[in-house]
Chains A and B, each alone.
Chain A
Amino acid sequence: MLLPAVEIRDLTKTYGMIRAIDGPTLNINQGEIFGLLGPNGSGKTTTMKIISGILKPDSGHIRVLGFDPVQEPILVKNRIGYVPETPTLYESLTVRDFFEFVSSVRKLDKGSTATKVEALTKAFLLTDYFDSPIASLSLGNRQKVSIIAAFLHDPQLLLFDEPLNGLDARSGKILKDLMSHHAEKGGTVVFSTHIMEIAEHVCKNIGIIYSGRLIAQGSINDLRRYSDNQETLEEVFLKLTNEKDTIEDTIKILKNALG
C-alpha cells in the first residue's frame, strides 16, 4: 500500500495571540486531487506553508511523502511544486532570468527543462513576456510564471494556494487539466480555493477548514451527508461553517442599507 502523500495529526500554529491552525488531522492519498476550502483567514495558507516546509508548526505530527518537513525541509521541497497565494517573485528579474534561477537551484537537467519551459510558456501564452521584468507583468501573468516554475522539476506533490487567482479562462482550463493529468500519473495535488464549482468538479476529496480547525473532510457525497443533504458544495460549505443563516441576515441588512 502506498504511503499517504500528506499525513497531518493534531497540528497547531500560533501567531502572537491568534491560533491559525488548531489541531487538524488529515490524510491525503497519493494520486488524488484534494481541495482545501475555507473562508479568508481560516488557516488554509498556513497549512499549505507547513506542508511545504516553509513554516514550522508549534506542535503535532506531519509527514509529507514520508518525510518530516520540519526535520528535512530540503527533501520535501525537492519533491513538491508550490504556488503561493501571492506570487512574490523577484520583480526585477525577467521571466527567463527567473526560470534560470529556479532551474539552477533545483539542479535540473538542461534538455528536459528546456522542453518543459517551452511547452508551458507557449501553453500559457507567456512567450512574448519571456524577456520582460516580472514587475511589468499583470497578476495573472505572474501567477502563470509561478505555476510554470512549480511544474519544472516533475514534483510528486503540487501545492497550489488559490492557483486560479487572476488567471483567464483559457489558462484556468489548462491548469485544471494539468492537475488532472498529474493525478492520473500518480501525483498528488492539494489546492485551496474559494470557488466552490471548481472544487466540486476537480477534487476527489475536500477538506473544510474553519478557524484553524478541519470541520469536515471526504468526498462531495460524504460532505452532503454531513450537512443534511445540501445540494451544492456552496450550500454544504455554508451549512457546515454555520454561515448560512448569518449570510441571509447580512444580505437583508445590506439590502436595507443600500436601498
Chain B
Amino acid sequence: MMSKEMKFTEAWKLSQIPYQELVFKSFIKSRGISYISKTHLSNGKSSNEKMIRRVIRSAVGNKIVVALIIAVASFISFIQSEYQYTTLSILIGSSLSLLMIFGYTLLYEIQFLPSMLDEQPTELLYSLPIYNSDISYILILAFIRAMDFIIIVDIAVPSLLVLILTHSLLASFIEMIGAITSVALATGLAIYLSKIFYQIANREKRSRTESIVRLMFTVVWGALVMSLALLYNYNTYLTPSLEKIITESSMSSILILSSIPSFSFSFLISSTLGGKSYVASYAAIGFSALYVGLSVLVILWSLRTIATFNNLHHDTNRKTPRDLKLVLRGQTVGYSIKDFRIASRNPTTAFLLAAPVLEAAIVLFPLITANVVGTITVLVGTVIGGIFTCFVVIGLLTAEGTGIEYTRTLPLSTNKVMHSKAFTATISYIPVPVIFALLGVIKPAIFNFISLIPLWELPAVAAAALVEMMIIVKSSGEERVLIFNLSSSILYFIASILVSCLVLGLPLVSFILTNLILGQKIASEIVLALVSSAEFIIMMHLTNVMNYSR
C-alpha cells in the first residue's frame, strides 16, 4: 500500500490538495456556481482567498461539531446509570459509549464517503508525474484528514472517562482498544455501504425491478441515517434495559450480550475491575480478541478500498433504451418528481424518501400501547409530524445543488418552485393523518372525529412549509437562488423553524382555547380546520404577491 517513492511528510502535505478539493467541490455543490462566481470570485484576489479560507473553516467547524456530539454522547453514556461509578455503571457506560462511537462515526462517514467517490478529488494529480500507488496513498491521507478530529475524540474521550472513573490504566487501555475497534468496524461498514450506494444510485435505469430495488435501498438507507441521528434518544432507553438484563437475566443472555462488539470490551473492563462472572469474562476475552483481529482485517481492507476510489467510475456499460418516450406532467408535479429523483440519488438527502415511513413510525410508536386515542396523543403526534415536514423542506432545498443554475434559465417563477417544494414536503406528512384515521377506526377514541385533527392540520403544514421557504428565500439575497446551506445560514434556519412552529401551533392552540371556552370538541375541530385553511390561503396569497424578480 505504502509507496517507496514518496515520504510520509510529502504525501501528507499533498493530501491537503484532494482534501481541499473535496471540501470546495461540496461547498460549490451546496451553494451553486453563480453564488461563488458572482459574489466572491469577481471581487478580487483577497475576496477569493477569504472565501477559500471560509470554506475550509466551515469544513473544520463541521468536524468539530461532530466530534463534540460524539464526546457529549460518550459522556452521557457514563452518567445515565443509576448505579453511580460501580463496576456495573462502568460496564454500561463503556458499552453505550462504544456503541455511540460506532453509530456516529458510521453516520458521519456514510454521508461523507459517497462525496469522496463522486468528486474524484485526486483526478488532477493523475496529470502530474506521480505514481498511481502514491496517489492512492495521498487519497488515504486525505480521508484521514477528513476524519482527524473525529477519530481523536472517538478514541481519547471514552478512554479518558474510564481512566478518570476507574483510576485503572488497564481498563482505560481496553476501552481505547474497544474505541479503535469500533471506529475501524464503522469505517469498514461505511465504505462498504457507500460503494453500494454509489453503484446502485448511479446505475442506468434498465428495468422497473431495478428502479424498485433502488427505491427500496434508498428508503432503507434513509431510515438508517435517521435512526443513527436519533442515537441520543436510544441512550436514555437503553441504560435501564441494559441494567435489567445484566443484573436479572440468565448467563446465556449475558453471553449473547458479550458477543456484541461494543459489549465484549466492556465486559472485559468489568472483569478487570472485579466483575464476578468468570464465564462472561472468558467470553469477553475471546470475543474482544476476535473483534481486534477482525478490525485489523477491516482496516487493511478499508485502506485498500479507499485507495481504489479513484478507479470507481459511473456505469459505462450502455444499452440501447427500450424507447425514447417521455412522461410529461404539470409544472408543480414535474418539479416535485425532479426533487424526488435528485434526493434519492444523494446520500445526504436520501433520508427524504424515508421521511413518510419515519413520520409514520414516530407517530405510531407511542400509540401502539395506548388503549384510547386521547386528545394529547393526537395533538403531540400532529405537531411532531408537522415539525418533521419542516426538516424535509430544508432537505429539499439542500438537494438542489448546482443544477439550480439550469433551472434559472427556465420559465419558472420562484413562487412556483416554493409551491412545488411545499407540495413535496407536505406529502411526507400524509402518513400522519392516515395513521390517525385508521387508529380512529380500530381503537376507541375519547370522542368521535378526534382522529381527524391531523387531517384538518394538513393545510397548516403546507403553510408552515411555505413560511419556512419564504424566510430562506429572503436569506439567499438578490439573485433569489433557491438553494440553502445550513452551516452558513443557521440563524435563518432557526428563525424559519420557529416561525413554522408558530404556524403549525396556531390551529392547535385555537382548538384548545375553543374547547376550553365552549366545551364543544366538534366546534373546536371546526375552528382548527378553519384556522388551518386560513393560514394556507394567506400563505399562498403572500407567496403569489411577493415580488420575486426571477
Contact = CB atoms under 8 A, between A and B. Distances in A.
Interface of A: 15-18, 20, 52-56, 70, 73-75, 77-78, 82, 84, 86-94, 96-97, 99-108, 110, 113-114, 117-118, 121, 127-133, 135-136, 146
A113 B407 CA distance: 19
A82 B410 CA distance: 9
B319 interface: yes
Contact of B324 (A20, A86, A103, A118): A118
Interface string B11-38: 0000000000000000000000100001
5 contacts: A56-B478, A74-B413, A88-B405, A92-B341, A107-B331
B403 A91 contact: yes
Interface of B: 33, 38, 42-44, 47, 118, 201-202, 204-206, 313-316, 318-321, 324-331, 333-335, 337-338, 341-342, 345-346, 401-403, 405-413, 478-479, 549-550
Contacts of B42: 15-16, 18, 20
A181 B408 CA distance: 27
A54 B108 CA distance: 37
Greatest chain A CB density within 10 A among B410, B411, B412 is at B411
Nearest to B329: A104
Nearest to B408: A54
A-B complex: 9 closest residue pairs judged by Cβ atoms: A104-B334, A16-B43, A136-B314, A90-B403, A15-B42, A92-B345, A77-B411, A88-B405, A101-B338
Contact of A78 (B316, B411, B478): B411
A136 B201 CA distance: 12
Nearest to B334: A104
Contacts of A17: 43-44
Contacts of B314: 132-133, 135-136
Given A54-B550, A101-B338, A127 B202 contact: no
B44 A16 contact: yes
A176 to B, nearest CB: 22
A129 B318 contact: yes
A114 B324 contact: yes
A135 B118 contact: yes
Contact of A135 (B202, B318, B324): B202
Contact of B321 (A78, A89, A130): A130
B421 to A, nearest CB: 14
A52 B202 CA distance: 32
B318 A110 contact: no
A105 B420 CA distance: 11
A88 to B, nearest CB: 4
Contact of A77 (B38, B328, B342, B409): B409
Given A97-B338, A131-B321, A90 B43 contact: no
Contact of A94 (B204, B313, B337, B410): B204
A89 B550 contact: no
Nearest to A93: B341
B315 to A, nearest CB: 7
B43 A15 contact: yes
B482 to A, nearest CB: 13
B334 A100 contact: yes
A132 B318 contact: yes
B404 to A, nearest CB: 8
Nearest to A87: B406
Nearest to B37: A15
Given A18-B42, A133-B314, 11 more contacts: A16-B47, A20-B42, A74-B411, A93-B341, A94-B204, A96-B324, A100-B334, A101-B334, A110-B328, A113-B328, A136-B313
Nearest to B413: A74
A131 B325 contact: no
Nearest to A52: B409
A117 B325 CA distance: 8
A92 B478 CA distance: 28
A54 to B, nearest CB: 5
Contacts of B320: 127-128
Given A92-B341, A100-B328, A114-B324, A73 B38 contact: no
Contacts of A18: 42-44
Contacts of B407: 105
Given A18-B42, A53-B550, A132-B318, A114 B325 contact: yes
Contacts of B331: 104-105, 107
A5 to B, nearest CB: 17
A206 to B, nearest CB: 24
Contact of B549 (A70, A97, A99): A70
Given A16-B47, A54-B550, A127-B321, A90 B406 contact: yes
B205 A56 contact: no
B549 A73 contact: yes
Contacts of B405: 84, 88
Greatest chain B CB density within 10 A among A82, A84, A128, A136 is at A136
Contacts of B33: 86, 88
Given A73-B550, A84-B409, A131-B204, A91 B401 contact: yes
Contacts of A87: 406
Given A16-B44, A100-B327, A108-B328, A56 B549 contact: yes
B321 A96 contact: yes
B327 A107 contact: no
Contacts of A70: 549
A130 B342 contact: no
A104 B342 contact: no
A89 B403 contact: yes
B326 A100 contact: yes
Nearest to A132: B204
B29 to A, nearest CB: 9
B406 A94 contact: no
A4 B365 CA distance: 66
B326 A82 contact: no
Contacts of A121: 324
Contacts of B326: 96, 99-100, 103, 110, 113-114, 117
Contacts of A93: 338, 341-342, 403
A86 B28 CA distance: 14
B546 to A, nearest CB: 15
Nearest to A20: B42
Contact of B201 (A15, A74, A92): A92
Given A94-B205, A105-B331, A117-B326, A15 B38 contact: yes
B410 A106 contact: yes
Contact of B403 (A56, A86, A88, A127): A88
A118 B316 CA distance: 22
A70 B549 CA distance: 7
Contacts of B325: 114
B419 to A, nearest CB: 13
Contact of B335 (A96, A105, A135, A146): A105
Contacts of A136: 202, 313-316
Contacts of B44: 16-18
A228 B84 CA distance: 94
Given A20-B42, A54-B550, A92 B342 contact: yes
Nearest to A108: B328
A54 B447 CA distance: 55
